[in-house]
Amino acid sequence: MYKISLIIPVFNLEKYIEKNFKSIKNQSIGFSNLEVIFVDDCSSDNSSQIIDKWEEEYSNVKVIHLDTNSGYGGKPRNIGIENASSEYILFLDGDDYLNIDGLERLYTAILQENDIDIAIGGYTRLNSDNSIIEKKIQSDEETSITYNPKEELKLMDLAPALASKLFRKNLLKEHNIKFREDMSGQDLIFINEAYFKSNKIIFINNYSVYNYNIRDGEDKSVSNTINLKTLKNNLKAYTEILKLCNDYKINDYMTTSVIANNLFSFVNRIRDNLEDYTLKKEEINELFESDVYKTFKNSSFFEKNYPFNVFFSNLEYGDYKNNYFLRLIKRNKIYEKKYHDNIKEYKRLKAEYRKVNRENKKLKKTQNEIFASTSWKITKPLRNMKGKLN
């Protein structure tokens, strides 16, 4: 039985797949403990031949070829889940690569306690020349566990970064958690549903599990290609996340945080791609007139969160640098949560104080009754005698 099943969608990755596979073979957990599932999405370069060769060479490598190109990573990942035989699953893109003990660190962490459904590490973002853009790690603390993922604000600040997360397969199977197959941004929906359904999540706060390769130019991946279709898919994903938050009764603080974080990235994509002429102003106008945008903007969540409506108005007027306003919205909600948490703790301590005070009064009353009793008075000489003998 393999310890981990790695699911890797492949589409025209002949430049990267060798480095990806080498990082898998070099894992400190042991290559023989890994099941490697490549799902080829109708590659037109030599990727198919490369992974077919590995399937012939290694008994723990499985290759599945799709009949038609799906266009997105959702379908290959879902097929990978159906074919995975291990208890734990990790999704890795074929152009990224793992650090040498990445899988071992995640596997050791997820086994620390019963009922941990997800282990989360950090990751490193790389330029196309392999220079480091940034390391995304949580803190200097080694590990921490959240026992109530539905109220863990830290989760809402994390990028999807699928390859930094190890999932218990039964979590996905029992709750029928799957990737949307018809859009980009499916990882956002998938990861939040997994969070909301999990019992416990463990964080490896100070370690980067894998290296995320930012591909530029003509070689851009689907997830890094920003156009009108991509932006509409982003909005569809955000609408789905709002629905998930509503269905799972996620509090306003968590919902505000996840939506503000995603809109922050959304605005950055618009601004950056307008500046380098990848997007045209006419396309942005078309986006704001689309049913997808209006459906998202008119979600019931925003009716009771007015500051977001100010943000949308600014956005429609062409203010693509108003991310500071999103920060204010999020910060205000966090302060509001802290205030309510403090009030709740004050009430708890006050109730505890009253309880202790009542107990003290009972003890005092009992003590007074003992001191006033006949037996206490009769035994006074004996107590005095005992004091003299000591």
Query: Of the residues 179, 202, 224, which one is the last residue of a structural domain?
Result: 224
Q: Considering its fold, how many domains does the chain have in total?
A: 2
pLDDT at 385 over 70: no
Same domain? 175 vs 270: no
Same domain? 194 vs 282: no
C-alpha dihedral over 145, 150, 155, 161, to 10 degrees?
A: 100
Average pLDDT, the chain: 88
Q: Are 244 and 194 in contact (CB under 8 A)?
A: no
Share of the chain above pLDDT 70, in %: 89
pLDDT at 132 over 90: no
pLDDT at 221 over 60: no
As a whole number, mean pLDDT of residues 141-161 equals 88
Burial degree of 181 (CB within 10 A; 0-12, 13-18, 19+): middle
As a whole number, mean pLDDT of residues 316-340 equals 69
Residue 338 has a pLDDT of 63
Q: Taking the model in full, what pTM does it have?
A: 0.82
pLDDT at 319 over 90: no
CA-based angle 244:204:83, to the nearest 5? 60
Same domain? 135 vs 208: yes
Predicted confidence band at 224 (pLDDT cuts at 50, 70, 90)?
A: low
pLDDT tens-place string over residues 63-106: 999 999 999 999 999 999 999 999 999 999 999 999 999 999 99
Share of the chain above pLDDT 90, in %: 56
pLDDT tens-place string over residues 252-287: 889 988 998 899 889 888 888 887 778 888 999 999
- Tokens 């894992």 sit on residue: 27
Same domain? 287 vs 197: no
Mark 80-110 as b/e (b = at least 16 C-beta within 10 Å): bbeebebebbbbbbbbbbbbebbbbbbbebb
- Tokens 């802290």 sit on residue: 338
Q: Are 256 and 325 in contact (CB under 8 A)?
A: no
Same domain? 234 vs 164: no
Judged by average pLDDT, the poorest of 5-14, 120-129, 137-146, 170-179 is: 137-146
As a whole number, mean pLDDT of residues 8-20 equals 96
Range of the domain at 337: 226-390
As a whole number, mean pLDDT of residues 157-183 equals 95
Same domain? 220 vs 231: no
Same domain? 185 vs 208: yes
* Domain CATH for 152: 3.90.550.10
Task: Report how far Cα 230 is from the mean position of its chain's Cα atoms.
Answer: 21
Same domain? 218 vs 230: no
Does the CA dihedral 73-76-82-85 come out positive or negative? negative
- Tokens 């039985």 sit on residue: 1
pLDDT at 370 over 90: no
Query: Of the residues 224, 241, 264, which one is the last residue of a structural domain?
Result: 224
Residue 138 has a pLDDT of 72
Query: Of the residues 193, 224, 255, which one is the last residue of a structural domain?
Result: 224
The H or E element that residue 117 is part of is: strand 116-126
Residue 387 has a pLDDT of 57
Q: Which of 171-185, 211-225, 345-359 has the highest mean pLDDT?
A: 171-185
Those residues with Cβ within 8 angstroms of residue 182's Cβ, 6 or more apart along the chain or in another chain: 72, 74
Same domain? 374 vs 267: yes
Mapped onto helix, strand or coil, the DSSP state of residue 5 is: strand
pLDDT tens-place string over residues 31-54: 999 999 999 999 999 999 999 999
Predicted confidence band at 349 (pLDDT cuts at 50, 70, 90)?
A: confident
Same domain? 328 vs 252: yes
Same domain? 220 vs 230: no
Same domain? 74 vs 137: yes
pLDDT at 382 over 80: no
